[in-house]
Amino acid sequence: MSLSEHLENQSRIIYEANDQHIATVQEVRDRMLKHCGSHMHKHVRVQTLDGHIYEGMILHVDRSILYLQIMMQDPRSFVNPYNVILPLVLYELLVITLLYT
């Protein structure tokens, strides 16, 4: 028996999403993709399910990730902000607020 066959025989599924959960996550992901895609290059405030809040500009969105450009402040300097691109998982986003029209 090869090592890969041995590992396959020893592996156990510890979690498997049910069909309803999969359908719900796909629906949310597709809805978020549509909304975020229609607001590309606009400034937004994003709140995640974990309560984190970020402000920035939507640079790109793909099937599962929102790429938000945010300004960060270097903790060693008061005048040295720099751009950071923060990838956020679409189905973990709770609120997206348009900041400027």
Task: Tell me which amino acid residue 50 is.
Answer: D
- Asked if residue 33 belongs to a domain, the reply is yes
- Asked if residue 51 belongs to a domain, the reply is yes
Q: Which domain holds residue 77?
A: 12-98
pLDDT of residue 53: 92
Residue linked to tokens 């978020």: 32
Backbone angles phi, psi at 83, to 5 degrees: -80, 140
Q: How far apart are the first and last CA of the chain?
A: 64
- In tens digits, the chain (101 residues) has pLDDT values of 566 666 566 778 788 889 999 999 899 889 888 888 899 999 999 999 899 999 999 999 998 899 999 887 666 666 666 788 889 998 888 888 888 76
Residue linked to tokens 């300097």: 77
Cα 32–Cα 63–Cα 96 angle in degrees, nearest 5: 25
pLDDT of residue 3: 60
Q: Which H or E element spans position 82?
A: strand 81-89
| Overall pTM > 0.95 | no
- Asked if residue 5 belongs to a domain, the reply is no
Structural domain total, the chain? 1
pLDDT of residue 96: 87
- Asked if residue 82 belongs to a domain, the reply is yes
Domain of 70, CATH number, reads: 2.30.30
